[in-house]
Amino acid sequence: MQQFSITDFRQQFPILQSLVNGKPLIYFDNAATTQKPMCVIENQSDYYQHSNANVHRASHALSAKATVAYEDARQRVKKFINANTEQEIIWTKGSTESINLVAQSWGRSTLRPNDEIVLSHSEHHANIVPWQIVAEQTGAKIKVLPLSETGIIDIEQLEDVIGERTRIVCFGHISNVIGRINPTAEIIRVAKKYQALTLIDGAQAIAHIDVDVMALDCDFYVFSAHKMYGPTGVGVLYGKKAILEQMPPYQAGGEMIKTVSFEQTSFNELPHKFEAGTPNVAGVIALGASIRFLEQQGHAALFAYEEQLRAYCFAQLSSVKDLVFIVAGEPDIPVFSFSLKGQHNHDVAAALDSVGIAVRSGHHCAMPLMQYLQVTGCVRLSLSAYNNFQEVDFAVQQLKILTQSVLETCDETSSNTSHLRLSASNNHNPIVSNDLTVDDVLAMFAKAKGWDSKHREIMLLGKKHVRLSVQDKTEQSIISGCESHAWLVCYQETSGKFRFKGDSDAKVIRGLLAIILAAVNNKTAAELNAFDLDDYFSTLGLLQHLSPSRGNGLRAIVKKIEQLIAHSNC
């Protein structure tokens, strides 16, 4: 077996040399997207510098060069997943578009009222919503496969769901949350028994296990380049040739036609029938480079290293007090989903981000799975072959610090944190308010050196923030746009000044609320309109450092305040 060198492998990814919040980047969000090696980056750039032309259509040298590289990538994918012919490899924008293509092309032309589409509880939204749309369009029905205690599709209940009316069974090879390999052979066997097609979402599997579509004998297999060290905006739909030939085109335009007249159009041969318009030529060529890159590393050696890393990470995470995995047992790939008792998953992710560790928190585009497991969300730590044992150790150390409630000790050093008080209005509409002022916040952040220190101040503010009563947490007070639950209420005094109070189930959002309310409380509408919140946030360094989801939450709070002021009848 080819030797795998983690040192050599890491050196090929330039972004891993980055600092985040002043700390070395530890990238543990690989289930969302993987980082790109220099060869992929250079390959995509090289296309634009030396062979930029449209493929298949022109009769000049640049087009010929681009077309050769473009179709070479198709051949590489065909070999990579062991398809029967390159005609079975369709380029798309990603797994999501691949599923939509099958749903709209095959599903809309084939499904009839009361036909059944079978999914599973662990599916990504991308393998649910397209089927809901086509079910509504055709009158078909959706049925759902239950999961076992270990989080995989329960083979004991397959024939309780798959039956005579089943037309297609769509399921993930590996869940993006649970990280376990589903029993593909059994599912496909039962589907075939009832003459149903099968579609496998391989987005999470493609970078971690060998995929052989001929051995699987599935009818469709989809995956995205960006989850296997390739570029964004490129995906693959594998489909059996006989099925693809019977399917009508998904989109119409250039490249997918053979002849066009105003009376009649004839369509191109496979695979071009499904590739309307100018494709992402650079991205497709870069996908070919990512496959070459993986082949040069040696699949067996790379997977063997990932196995060691997965086992080590699971053991280390298991040693963290109050860490609860979303399902019991060790995953099959290095994807670990968990919560820390007593701590909101967004708070955990924000704390890790403050020291340079990138993880994902929330529902992970798998809301039905969260509902099935009776949780509101979780933290997901997903590793790749460029991660190492030292990074795992540091992340686990930080998780242990969180479980030890080190933030408690910050009380002694944060002398700038203001006390909270309760004020009542003249007409018996009490509004809990915070004496914290803009000057207090600016002074607090000025003393904090580095984002990790500022993050601790935000979390401390969130911890001390007075909570809303249950009665105040209504549909009218909810803040739309925050990933965590958040609410805002207000009251306008007879003087015209506004008093606001907010709450959230995440400490980080409560801290941000405290910072915003310091700027907006006890002001008239004119004073609020004159205050430059963007400048305030910029001075504090919030928008530069907050994650996109936290930044969106910040904007959602501001939007809610603007809506309340506009109505002026809090």
Name the residues annotated as catalytic. 365
Would you say 499 and 419 are in contact if contact means Cβ atoms under 8 Å apart? no
Would you say 10 and 386 are in contact if contact means Cβ atoms under 8 Å apart? yes
Would you say 77 and 291 are in contact if contact means Cβ atoms under 8 Å apart? yes
CA atoms of 339 and 360, how far apart (whole Å): 12
Instruction: Identify the CA nearest to 354 among candidates 461, 480, 451, 463.
Output: 451
Instruction: State the alpha helices, DSSP H only, in 91-172.
Output: 95-102, 108-110, 129-138, 158-161
Phi, psi of 141 (to 5 degrees): -120, 150
The single-letter code of the amino acid at 59 is S
DSSP three-state, residue 118: strand
Length of the chain, in residues: 570
* Residues in Cβ contact with 391 at an 8 Å cutoff, skipping those fewer than 6 apart: 26, 28
Helix (H) or strand (E) holding 366: none
Phi, psi of 562 (to 5 degrees): -60, -40
CA atoms of 567 and 570, how far apart (whole Å): 7
Instruction: Identify the CA nearest to 542 among candidates 518, 566, 561, 562.
Output: 518
Instruction: Identify the CA nearest to 184 among candidates 164, 165, 199.
Output: 199
- 63: Cα within 13 Å, side-chain hemisphere: 8
